[in-house]
């Protein structure tokens, strides 16, 4: 399978069948926390990134192989930003014509200022955009967006979409220690969320390898502060238990690449996910992928993760060079 993966367990969506209409890593943000590494280069053009007909044929094949109740949601979520695919609305309509399973879209929300994107996403049952900053400064620090994008544009797009959208709007917030977990940052976020009026705010914390080495999850105090300031509408989302459905893979090497391209994992997680193969087979496949350059090991959060080779994870020195403290120090030097 090139475009369809799972179902995978999700605390928010149950058994979620992933639909990936975007090549790794086609995105208009370069988020410091992204589990797929840095975005190089940034892309903000909507076009046909993968052939829509081939994607739909794969989806039809996978749906035919699963019985009632095995899939809770069909989720469009790219190895980048799915709304950059110009055929997203067409694919959602085709999906809804072939099944009654509800459709979700996980997006950064950056293109919702465009009327055609809002029309595309209005077709989905659930839309899950990102809002992790309540000010332009923190927006730029966290997301490092394409030059044509701004915080004001992002917020206005979310507000406009909420006005016309009749489905469930669940905003995703990535909470990062020392970046957006202060009283001031959270108060700004609360004010922005009040304008958007989502049905739910889901607080995520970094638990897969962030792009930058200095990104850390908030401590317990930071989580409590967020819950208090954001109110009852917000809930902390913890990683789901369970494993990927890899029934579409016959080869362990292909199965590993299919998983780590979209979800970098620790080796013990991979072995659990790939339980139909012996641990020795998994290890042999990982050694083969590492030697061939198709996979890489990434050190983050005090843990070693396996990730697809094309993902760009800087080492500690390169990552520290773009930390907020270093950036602010350089700005002060320039002003002098």
Rounded CA separation 23/329 (Å): 35
| pLDDT score for 331 | 54
The residues spanned by each domain of the chain are: 4-243+314-335
pLDDT of residue 12: 84
Specify whether the CB–CB gap between 319 and 227 falls below 8 A: no
pLDDT computed for residue 11 by the predictor = 81
pLDDT tens per residue across span 55-71: 999 999 999 999 999 99
Asked if 85 contacts 134 with a C-beta cutoff of 8 angstroms, the reply is no
Answer yes or no: is pLDDT of 81 > 80: yes
E strands within 71-179?
Answer: 73-76, 103-106, 126-128, 168-174
SS3 55: helix
pLDDT in tens, 210-228: 999 999 999 999 999 999 9
Section 240-269 average pLDDT: 86
Residue that wins the pLDDT comparison between 181 and 336 = 181
Q: What is the pTM of this model?
A: 0.93
pLDDT at residue 243 in the model? 66
Which pLDDT band holds residue 143 (cuts at 50, 70, 90)? Answer: very high
Q: What is the mean pLDDT of the chain?
A: 94
Q: Does residue 315 carry a pLDDT above 70? A: yes
Q: Does domain 4-243+314-335 have CATH number 3.30.420.40?
A: no
Q: Give yes or no for residue 328 having a pLDDT over 70.
A: no
Kindly report which listed range (18-22, 85-89, 180-184, 322-326) carries the lowest average pLDDT score.
322-326
Q: What is the mean pLDDT of residues 274-296?
A: 94
Mean pLDDT on 264-270: 91
- pLDDT over 90 (residue 327): no
State both tokens at 75: 């989720």
Confidence at residue 249, expressed as pLDDT on a 0 to 100 scale? 85
**Residue range 179-205: mean pLDDT, rounded:** 98
Instruction: At 86, list the tokens.
Output: 């110009």
Rg (C-alpha) for the chain, rounded Å, is 20
């Amino acid at each position: 399978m090139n475009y369809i993966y799972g179902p995978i367990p999700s605390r928010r969506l149950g058994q979620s069948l992933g639909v990936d209409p975007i090549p790794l890593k086609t995105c208009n943000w370069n988020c410091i926390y992204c589990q797929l590494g840095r975005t190089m280069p940034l892309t903000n053009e909507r076009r046909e990134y993968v052939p829509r007909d081939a994607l739909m044929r794969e989806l039809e094949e996978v749906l035919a192989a699963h019985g009632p109740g095995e899939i809770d949601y069909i989720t469009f979520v790219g190895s980048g930003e799915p709304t950059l695919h110009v055929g997203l609305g067409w694919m959602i309509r085709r999906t809804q014509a072939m099944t009654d399973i509800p459709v979700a879209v996980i997006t950064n929300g950056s293109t919702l200022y465009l009327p055609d994107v809002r029309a595309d996403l209005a077709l989905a049952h659930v839309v899950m955009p990102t809002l992790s900053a309540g000010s332009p400064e923190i927006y730029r620090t966290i997301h490092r967006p394409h030059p044509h994008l701004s915080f004001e544009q992002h917020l206005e797009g979310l507000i406009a979409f909420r006005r016309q959208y009749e489905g469930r709007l669940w905003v995703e917030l990535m909470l990062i220690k020392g970046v957006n977990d202060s009283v001031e940052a959270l108060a700004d976020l609360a004010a922005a969320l009040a304008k958007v009026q989502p049905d739910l705010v889901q607080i995520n914390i970094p638990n897969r390898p962030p792009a930058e080495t200095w990104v850390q999850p908030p401590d317990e105090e930071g989580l409590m502060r967020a819950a208090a300031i954001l109110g009852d509408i917000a809930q902390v989302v913890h990683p789901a238990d369970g494993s990927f459905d890899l029934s579409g893979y016959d080869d362990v090497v292909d199965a590993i690449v299919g998983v780590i391209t979209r979800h970098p994992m620790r080796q013990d997680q991979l072995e659990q996910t790939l339980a139909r193969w012996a641990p020795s087979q998994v290890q042999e496949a990982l050694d083969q992928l590492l030697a061939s350059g198709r996979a890489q090991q990434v050190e983050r959060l005090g843990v070693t993760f396996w990730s697809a080779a094309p993902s760009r994870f800087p080492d500690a020195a390169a990552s520290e060079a773009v930390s907020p403290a270093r950036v602010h120090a350089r700005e002060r030097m320039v002003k002098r």
